[in-house]
Amino acid sequence: MKYNISTLLDSELVNDFWTTFLPIFRYVLFGIIIACAIVMIITTLMQANDSSKSLDAFTGASQESYYAQNKGASRDSILKRITISMAVIIFVCIILFFVSEIIAGV
């Protein structure tokens, strides 16, 4: 038996797959969004307040310490990277969530 694309797309198997897969996929995406949002809130609150750096531009005070030179390995930079990665994951999951809504609506 030879199948072409139109008979495969019109089959009941493909329709059953999409009707069972998309709701589960949306629940998983929603769970990922909630978990990443919680992690993002926690990491944002754990970051240090850098209000003194804004005054450095006016006063010209700049610290050339070992800590200032190695900010890439500091706690704040790790928290900043986690916050940015959680924001990217949330963005991608929201786009996928709404694309799955469009697919399910068709």
Residue 28: inside a domain: yes
Number of domains in the chain: 1
- Residue matched to tokens 């038996």: 1
- pLDDT at position 32: 96
Q: For residue 52, count other CB atoms closer than 10 A to its CB.
A: 10
- pLDDT at position 61: 60
Tell me the whole-structure pTM to 2 decimals: 0.67
Residue 67: inside a domain: yes
Q: Which two tokens stand for residue 44?
A: 């944002």
Average pLDDT over all residues of the chain: 78
pLDDT mean over 25-54: 87
Please give the distance of CA 68 from its chain centroid, rounded to a whole number: 29
pLDDT at 94 > cutoff 90 = yes
pLDDT mean over 68-87: 82
pLDDT at 11 > cutoff 60 = no
Domain that holds residue 78: 21-47+56-105
